[in-house]
Amino acid sequence: MAEFCYQCTEYHFGDGSVNDFKDLSNEKDTKEGLYISALCEGCGITQVDHSGMCIHHTTDCIVAENEKLEK
């Protein structure tokens, strides 16, 4: 089954808050710089925070590259 981070969920389906990686960690972990390693179908191998947001989305992911090409 395909799993998507916040940004890719928003990009493909319109509402990033219902992403597959939400709540895998907690806000305290995020504040301490601890992230979950994840395989997002849009980004590839990446890290996500407690909200499922890809922390490398603007610099190192497949969807970010596609978004740059669309502009």
Q: What is the pLDDT along the chain (71 residues), one digit of tens a residue?
A: 789 999 889 988 999 999 999 999 999 999 999 999 999 998 888 899 999 999 876 666 666 666 656 65
pLDDT of 36: 94
Task: Specify if 40 maps to a domain.
Answer: yes
pLDDT of 64: 63
Beta-carbon-side half-sphere exposure of residue 59 (alpha carbons within 13 Å): 4
Task: Specify if 63 maps to a domain.
Answer: yes
Which residue range(s) make up the domain with 63? 6-70
**What is the dihedral sign for C-alpha 17, 19, 21, 23?**
positive
Task: Specify if 1 maps to a domain.
Answer: no
